[in-house]
A and B are shown apart, each in its own frame.
Chain A
Amino acid sequence: MPDKIKFTVDGKECQAEAGMTIYEAAKANGIYIPVLCHYEGLKPVGSCRICSVRVNGRWMAACTQPVTPGMVIENASPDVEEYRKAIIEMLFVEGNHFCPACEKSGNCELQALAYRYQILVPQFPYLFPKKDIEAFPKFLLEHNRCVQCQRCIRAIQAPDGKKVFAMKHRSGRVRINVDRKLAARLSDEEAQKAMDICPVGAILRKEVGFRIPIGRRKYDRRPIGSEIEEKK
């Protein structure tokens, strides 16, 4: 194979194709780097920072950083894992997440990551923000659960390329903003796609729910990341 790049992850010799991100390159070697905002096929935005790794002493987001020859990547160092856990905890306290009452429970990537990192009580105080629920013809937007991963912004566009979802405000006030006119034109399939691509229960289809009972859902069966690690 031409253009193979050699690098190490936690001391393990790895190879990958040039042009891959650290996340993709690790994945190709059966190494799971946790991600939340990243979604296969969408342009990475590096917003959640859960995929942060340390490369030659510098912190980098694995989903956006291209792998280069000779990189010495730390993915499982105690402090790397500890910092990731902190980010997951930050997401829990800056929103209002009540897993048992959520339609996404068991399919939720945030919940799955919390299980993987064995989070019982976050080290941070809850912020209990006041956030709204908005209704659109085909779906609900539950701002209390939104993690601002921007997957919906990237995945769902109007036929002419206009953004159906966009960011609004800044700082802690930042919200996903839905274009009402364009949202009304979404098909059932697109609304379903928006719900499926949302890592948490922020985008929910109307009039359908709990088709698969809790307990038999994706991450109820296998922990997040195991599909990559089992390929080893």
Chain B
Amino acid sequence: MNYKKILQKYRKDRTRLIEILKEIQAREGHISEKAIICVADELGLSRAEVEGVISFYHFLSARPLGKYVVYLNNSITAEMAGREKVALAWEREIGCRFGQTSEDGLVTLLETSCIGMNDQEPAAIINGVVFTSLNPDKVKKLVGWMREGRAAEDMVEETGDGANGHELVRAMVRNNIRKTGPVVFGEYVPGQAIGKALETTPECVIDEVKRANLLGRGGAGFPTGLKWEFCRKEKGEQHFVICNADEGEPGTFKDRVILTERPEMVFEGMAIAGYAVGARLGILYLRHEYTYLRRYLEHVLQKMREQGWLGKNIAGRGFDFDIEIKMGAGAYVCGEESALIESAEGKRGEPRDRPPFPVQKGYLNLPSTVNNVETLATATQIITRGASWFRSMGTPVSAGTKLLSVSGDCERPGIYEVEYGLTVKELLEMVGAKDTLAVQVGGPSGNCISEAGFGRKICFSDLPTGGSIIIFNRGRDLFSVVRNFLDFFIEESCGWCVPCRAGNVLLKKKFEKIASGLGTVQDLKEIEAWGKIIKSMSRCGLGQTSPNPVLTTLASFRELYESRVNKEADFIPEFDLSRAVAEASAITGRKFQEEQDHA
């Protein structure tokens, strides 16, 4: 394989390292030692550094993989939808375990964190193609096709609604838009907003967005207008607009639907942001899991260039702005804006220290504004319809509408565009949820609330959310939910700082002690204290929210934890001898009797 040719294609640009590695892997199935050496030498990097990048990302591999690589999602909604049976079916049909490649080298089975398909689980990505609503029969069929050598894209029998059926997408993914609203799914004529923005000054655009009180839709809620203003004021030879399309919070899939159905609105928002901050280039950082949308999005960009909404001299007003797409490679932490920038520069997606903030030193150390997909789409509508129109919706603090990705135990999972201020109870009725035990608002990093909190409002001042809403009914075991979320954070920690890297493993250990009935009142105190330490001491938002699955269920469902702990004992060891030898006892048929009298 001629690696040098690939490197030349990317102009030996170090910031394109991830793309280079992905192309090599796409052609050869993995990134061999030979490839690593060549890439390192040509880019002026050490081999260790290239290995560091490959090993950071879930979808890059230095070891050979099968002809088909199955990434089965392991999120909680997948579990609820029967993931275990599907996983067993894969293992049975292929003849190897998850984490392994079949002996004939045909299939590799791997697990992966949430792929943004929560309303159509269990789902998997096979050679870049998404397969939803899997069951053991479908698995059998897919494996049969694999044995025949059918290409993954030819295994899609029926495509989903909307642009999912476009010839450049051809995905079986469904949009499941259950409720449209006036902003993201409102009336929209492409090109209007950018034209209108260019008639005014950048300062006026910023003012309008500020007056609209648009807060970041990714979850953190930073005022968008202010962010643009800070970015504009920074000196730098170039400014950048980055659209964060790395939605990785388990349970969120609204950006996927926006990019499928409203890509022009997002790209237009990027151009408006570009005009506001003084940027000529925008980057759409698209998560690897949504690779299937890439060709379609490139096509939309090209169409927009042809129509004069992107490229040189937009709308004849002398403003140049273009957008390129950069792909992620599988890392939840890259949704954090500074980690995203590192990744976009072709490095390990490790968050940066702040200050300096991305608006000061972002992409290539130049002023950059990083905005969520929904934020940018919303900005487009604000420019067209005006700030007061926008503020007439929602609450005084949280203006406008929010897209919610609803999954779990309800009749109508999918996308809902609702005004801020909606109560959880109203939402539950809207989606057809019955006998609800708990609602996870904002994904694992958010808040788990019980019935006592169903009167609370979805808005920035009460229950903020990037859009993830997962519903659990009374038949569910909350401990398995917490366990799934803790495993997620342990896996997705970048490993940079101690409290997140080690603390979360310890927190999980303590959780398992309590869950298995070996906990005491002291253990409950300790798990809470440890959670607070991790929250306080961690370096970035991932670590600072990672104990939330424990801390928020402790707050909402304390009685559940209390029912599991032994209230009399001062101390129970974590190690339970009779439990540890139970399997061996069962196999040998010999009963193990714990000595009753330790004294």
Contact = CB atoms under 8 A, between A and B. Distances in A.
Given A83-B536, A165-B48, A179-B48, A90 B498 contact: yes
B55 A169 contact: yes
Given A59-B537, A83-B537, A90-B506, A177 B331 contact: no
Contact of A166 (B51, B493, B501, B503): B51
Contact of A170 (B45, B56, B505, B536): B56
Given A90-B503, A178-B48, A49 B498 contact: yes
B52 A162 contact: no
Given A93-B502, A177-B48, A179-B46, A170 B353 contact: no
Interface string B344-363: 00001010010100000000
A61 B353 contact: yes
A76 interface: no
Nearest to B350: A167
B495 interface: yes
Nearest to B536: A59
Interface stretch (A119-127, A194-202, A223-231): A119-127
A172 B500 CA distance: 9
A171 B537 contact: no
A90 to B, nearest CB: 4
Contacts of A181: 46-47
A148 B353 contact: no
A160 to B, nearest CB: 7
A17 interface: no
Contact of A148 (B49, B55, B56, B501): B501
Q: Report the interface size class on chain A.
A: 35 or more
A168 B533 contact: no
Interface residues of B, dominant DSSP: helix
Contacts of A177: 48, 51-52, 55
Q: Report the interface size class on chain B.
A: 35 or more
A130 to B, nearest CB: 14
Nearest to A123: B526
A172 B495 contact: yes
B538 interface: yes
B174 interface: no
Contacts of B503: 90
A207 B501 CA distance: 34
Contacts of B495: 148, 167, 169-174
A182 B50 CA distance: 14
Given A61-B353, A64-B353, A171-B491, A46 B539 contact: yes
A8 interface: no
Interface in B471-518: 490-499, 501-503, 505-506, 509
Contacts of B506: 90, 93, 124-125, 127
Contacts of B492: 170-171
B493 A83 contact: no
A47 B498 contact: yes
B505 A163 contact: no
Nearest to B539: A46
Given A91-B498, A172-B490, A177-B55, 14 more contacts: A49-B539, A50-B498, A64-B353, A125-B509, A125-B574, A148-B501, A158-B46, A163-B46, A166-B48, A166-B52, A170-B494, A171-B492, A171-B501, A179-B47
5 contacts: A90-B503, A94-B502, A162-B49, A166-B49, A170-B493
